[in-house]
């Protein structure tokens, strides 16, 4: 049963830490609550550490260090490096190196460190149990020049223990003695750690499994509002893989992306600058390109389909016509973007409507195809 596990490559320290923290949190937290109960202080301490460490990963490790989606002041860098270490997801340098490989080789079984093509559990956390390769860190030369990043890289484990376990225990002690200290360690420390880690792991597993692909269906990355709730806005992963340097993942105004809002707020406070945004016309162009591919695939699948009733024939003909208009619209927009012509919001809305019409027609045709033949 265990013969296929490459024992020589197991990362024993990391694996033991993951397993021990998980089971201690799972058993220790309910035991503590059953014995001592839980008060508002412990809940607020958990929420604070959950947000501080979780967003240090999404805002700091991910968007700031791995993607350089904006520039941040030393205080923001230091805060995210301190609280990011308390999420125990390696140093920002190692994390960014793995993550840049993930974007460069997404879905490649060999070079994507957490390729979903190797299975859900592998992408979620299985990859962490193994030493994948000695990290050459050649892809993080820019981060190696940052003294704060290198300081955290050398000391991230003691920093993690101090900020992630000792600090909530001490705050608990000053609030209510040893009983509260134990609660702080177990709830805001251990249970929070397990929650934050699995929220991050969801990005590599569920965000490559559930949701839609409105920008690019050639990768497994997906957009899901549900996953955005659990991941501080990282759930709009199809957009992110299409435009990885944008500081926004939920690019639409109504999409849940607290990390984006936090970065924007920091910029208003003068603590973040040079927020990178993909121009709207390039986003619409990607949406149109994806819809064009979907329409072409639908037309190809419909061409071998017997037209046994006028409704189906009519729907197919309408899709052909709308798809032709979309192709022309796409070429027009592609040229305008290439020539850097300023495009009004009204014009972009027309292109978007064109794409939405094709989308509706594809859905109609799919539902007609799913119905039994009238012949
Ligand atoms: Zn991804
Ligand atoms: Zn990314």
What is the Å distance from ligand 1's center to 66 Cα? 12
CB 233 within 8 Å of CB 250: yes
Residue 256 and residue 360 in one domain: no
Say what the pLDDT of residue 303 is.
Answer: 67
Tell the residue number behind the tokens 């509260």, with chain if given.
Answer: 180
Cross-strand pairs, 236: 223
Which ligand has an atom closest to residue 244 CA? 2
**Position 375 in a domain:** no
CB 217 within 8 Å of CB 205: no
Tell the residue number behind the tokens 């929650």, with chain if given.
Answer: 195
Count of domains observed in the chain: 2
Residue 189 and residue 291 in one domain: no
How far is the C-alpha of 84 from the C-alpha of 355, rounded, in Å? 41
CB 66 within 8 Å of CB 97: no
Which ligand has an atom closest to residue 202 CA? 1
What is the Å distance from ligand 1's center to 128 Cα? 16
Residue 263 and residue 285 in one domain: no
Which is it for the CA torsion 236, 237, 238, 244, positive or negative? positive
CB atoms within 10 A of CB 334: 14
Phi and psi torsions of 195, nearest 5°: -65, -50
Closest CA to 160 of 94, 84, 97: 84
> Among residues 251, 273, 295, which one ends one of the domains?
273
Say what the pLDDT of residue 333 is.
Answer: 85
What per-residue string of b and e applies to 259-286 under the rule 16 or more CB within 10 Å gives b? bbebbeebbeeebbeebbebeebebbbb
What is the Å distance from ligand 1's center to 241 Cα? 6
What is the Å distance from ligand 1's center to 200 Cα? 11
Residue 109 and residue 253 in one domain: yes
Residue 301 and residue 219 in one domain: no
What is the Å distance from ligand 2's center to 200 Cα? 12
Residue 114 and residue 146 in one domain: yes
**Position 366 in a domain:** yes
Which ligand has an atom closest to residue 209 CA? 1
Residue 323 and residue 235 in one domain: no
Say what the pLDDT of residue 1 is.
Answer: 46
Closest CA to 171 of 154, 183, 159: 183
What is the Å distance from ligand 1's center to 365 Cα? 31
**Position 2 in a domain:** no
Q: What is the largest CA-CA distance in the chain?
A: 79
What is the Å distance from ligand 2's center to 62 Cα? 6
Which ligand has an atom closest to residue 221 CA? 1
Which ligand has an atom closest to residue 113 CA? 1
Residue 190 and residue 50 in one domain: yes
> Among residues 232, 248, 273, which one ends one of the domains?
273
Residue 344 and residue 265 in one domain: no
What is the Å distance from ligand 1's center to 36 Cα? 41
Question: How many alpha carbons fall within 13 Å on the CB side of residue 190?
Answer: 20
**Position 11 in a domain:** yes
Say what the pLDDT of residue 108 is.
Answer: 87
Angle made by CA atoms 348, 351, 357, in degrees to the nearest 5: 140
Q: How many residues does the chain have?
A: 375
Mean pLDDT per 10-residue section of the chain, whose length is 375 residues: 65 89 94 93 97 97 98 98 97 95 91 88 86 77 96 97 97 95 96 95 92 93 93 96 96 95 98 96 92 87 68 82 87 86 85 88 83 59
Say what the pLDDT of residue 370 is.
Answer: 76
What is the Å distance from ligand 2's center to 173 Cα? 38
**Position 163 in a domain:** yes
- C-alpha 238, offset from chain centre: 9
Residue 258 and residue 321 in one domain: no
> Among residues 211, 241, 273, which one ends one of the domains?
273
What is the Å distance from ligand 1's center to 209 Cα? 10
How far is the C-alpha of 358 from the C-alpha of 326, rounded, in Å? 8
**Position 99 in a domain:** yes
Say what the pLDDT of residue 3 is.
Answer: 54
Phi and psi torsions of 212, nearest 5°: -105, 165
Residue 53 and residue 202 in one domain: yes
Residue 66 and residue 212 in one domain: yes
Say what the pLDDT of residue 322 is.
Answer: 87
Phi and psi torsions of 130, nearest 5°: -120, 150
How far is the C-alpha of 144 from the C-alpha of 92, rounded, in Å? 10
How far is the C-alpha of 180 from the C-alpha of 40, rounded, in Å? 12
Q: For residue 338, give its domain range.
A: 280-370
CB 244 within 8 Å of CB 66: no
**Position 239 in a domain:** yes
What is the Å distance from ligand 2's center to 192 Cα? 23
What is the Å distance from ligand 1's center to 341 Cα? 32
How buried is residue 15: exposed, middle or buried, by Cβ count under 10 Å (0-12/13-18/19+)? middle
What is the Å distance from ligand 2's center to 40 Cα? 35
**Position 298 in a domain:** yes
Closest CA to 316 of 373, 367, 361: 361
What is the Å distance from ligand 1's center to 176 Cα? 42
């Amino acid at each position: 049963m265990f013969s296929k596990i490459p024992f020589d490559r197991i990362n024993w320290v990391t694996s033991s830490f993951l397993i021990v923290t998980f089971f201690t949190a799972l058993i220790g937290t309910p035991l503590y609550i059953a014995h001592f109960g839980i008060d508002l202080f412990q809940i607020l301490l958990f929420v604070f550490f959950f947000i501080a460490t979780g967003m240090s990963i999404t805002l700091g490790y991910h968007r700031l260090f791995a993607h350089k989606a904006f520039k941040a002041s030393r205080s923001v860098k230091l805060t995210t490096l301190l609280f990011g270490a308390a999420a125990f997801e390696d140093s920002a340098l190692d994390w960014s190196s793995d993550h840049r490989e993930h974007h460069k080789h997404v879905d490649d079984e060999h070079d994507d460190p957490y390729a979903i093509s190797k299975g859900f559990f592998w992408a979620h956390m299985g990859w962490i149990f193994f030493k994948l390769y000695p990290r050459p860190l050649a892809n993080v030369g820019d981060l190696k020049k940052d003294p704060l990043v290198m300081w955290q890289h050398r000391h991230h484990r003691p920093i993690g223990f101090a900020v992630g376990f000792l600090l909530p225990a001490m705050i608990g002690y000053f609030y209510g003695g040893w009983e509260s200290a134990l609660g702080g360690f177990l709830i805001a420390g251990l249970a929070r750690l397990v929650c934050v880690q699995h929220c991050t792991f969801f990005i590599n597993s569920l965000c490559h499994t559930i949701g839609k692909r409105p920008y690019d269906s050639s990768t497994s990355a997906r957009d899901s509002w549900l996953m955005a709730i659990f991941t501080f806005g990282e759930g709009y992963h199809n957009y992110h893989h299409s435009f990885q340097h944008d500081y926004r993942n939920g690019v639409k105004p109504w999409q849940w992306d607290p990390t984006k809002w936090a970065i924007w707020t920091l910029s208003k406070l003068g603590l973040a600058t040079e927020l990178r945004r993909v121009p709207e016309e390039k986003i619409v162009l990607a949406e149109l390109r994806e819809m064009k591919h979907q329409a072409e695939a639908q037309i190809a699948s419909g061409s071998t389909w017997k037209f046994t009733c006028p409704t189906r024939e009519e729907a197919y003909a309408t899709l052909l016509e709308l798809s032709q208009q979309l192709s022309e619209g796409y070429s027009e927009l592609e040229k305008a973007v290439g020539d850097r012509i300023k495009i009004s919001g009204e014009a972009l809305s027309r292109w978007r409507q064109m794409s939405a019409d094709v989308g509706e027609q594809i859905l109609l045709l799919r539902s007609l195809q799913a119905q039994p033949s009238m012949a």
